[in-house]
Amino acid sequence: MKASVSAINQPSTAIYGEDAPLFLDMVQRFLQQEVAPCFDAWEADHQVPRTLWNTFGHAGLLGVDLPEAYGGSGADFQISQLICEEISRQGFGGIGSGYNIHANIVMPYILHIGTEEQKQNWLPKMASGDVLGAIAMTEPGAGSDLAALRTRAEKVDGGWKINGSKIFITNGLLAELVIVCAKTDPEAGAKGVSLFLVDSRLPGFSRGKGIHKIGQHSSDTAELFFDDLIVPDDALLGDLNKGFAYLMQELPRERLGVASQALGAMEGALQLTLDYIQERKAFGQRIADFQNSRFKLAEVKAQIELGRAYFNQCMQRYTEGQMSPADAAILKLQLSEMQCKTIDECLQLFGGYGYTTEYPISRFYVDARIQTIYAGTSEIMKEVIARTMLGK
């Protein structure tokens, strides 16, 4: 690509704690050495190599907030958000989504809900990158509506038999471990959902072809199938029929991860645009000298600062155990929508060059679009917020 994201200015680390500068330096060096030289090829292939996750693990960047007993660094949870932000800030949105699923969603589920045996069995392997994680909720006919799930888990001798399918599963092509949401009480609606730790190497587990998307090409996305898949009794994650409650419990962190990706992408896109408009000329002057350019970027900067202020507030609430589902919904709604709008404004200032793949601003643009859809659509976020307000 003609422009480079490697020269993006350093982000502030104050909100992320005293260990943040060390981890930021680690992840920046890692991204420039291990990701940047190959990323265009991975985007073209619509796939990262499986070994990338082992490399992440060897660098100590997976499960950074896990206790050392499970292979982590014992850092504050904020560091995982910093890593998500930096990956997206440098323009590697597809990898950011895969990282968020593995290290910021699946691993905390096991840490918070799993038995000691499950933690000892899976978390060290996930921290090293030897096991890649995914979570399978969405189905062809059921996105955010968990009551409509058709995947079933039926009790059999010594375990459970799972039948069904899932779609749009991030890390679905490469994951060795998938948290599967399945109905264990079909008559109970959302209160009849349970979670299972499914080893993807078991008979009855299969994957469709990778799903090609308009953005985040290097984030592998797949459809998964379960055909009389037998998992042992100890594959049940948490209590029976408590899956919906666990999903609600863990959603705040998932949506914090999406918000950190949004902040990073907005910061990265803004810096690329600032660099471009100070070099590019039109009608005898720099694009930066036009009042419209300055006003547009002032608006983008103001939006980012407002978004970061609420993000910081939510991080503090999460640390104190006070972040509510409504907080998470407001954060996810506002920052994902803001990301799409601000990056659109940035791309406009590139003119025709912004519509070419030669300039990385175009990748920021297409990678942003999914943010208002996954982890709960903007419409679902509004519904969550409204129900809280109306007491429903």
CA distance 240 to 197: 13
Tell me the sheet residues that pair with 162. Answer: 153, 229
Selecting among 43, 85, 254, 267, the annotated active-site residue is 254
**3-state SS of the chain: helix, strand, coil percent to 5?**
55, 15, 30
CB 206 within 8 A of CB 200: no
Q: What is the largest CA-CA distance in the chain?
A: 79
Torsion of CA 8, 56, 336, 137, to 10 degrees: 170
Q: Residues near 361 by Cβ (< 8 Å), separated by ≥ 6?
A: 3, 269, 272, 273, 276, 343, 346, 347, 350, 354
Residue with tokens 């300039």, as numbered in its chain:
359
How far CA 156 is from CA of 82, 200, 228, 231, in Å, comes to: 43, 19, 11, 10
Q: Cα 63–69–74 angle (5° rounding)?
A: 50
How far CA 135 is from CA of 107, 166, 195, 280, 283, in Å, comes to: 10, 10, 10, 44, 52
Tell me the sheet residues that pair with 224. Answer: 166, 207
Question: Around 302, how many Cα atoms within 13 Å sit in the side-chain half-sphere?
Answer: 6
Q: Residues near 44 by Cβ (< 8 Å), separated by ≥ 6?
A: 217
Q: Which two tokens stand for residue 259?
A: 């918000």
Residue 68 falls in the annotated catalytic set? no
- Look at the chain and count its residues: 392
Active site residues: 254
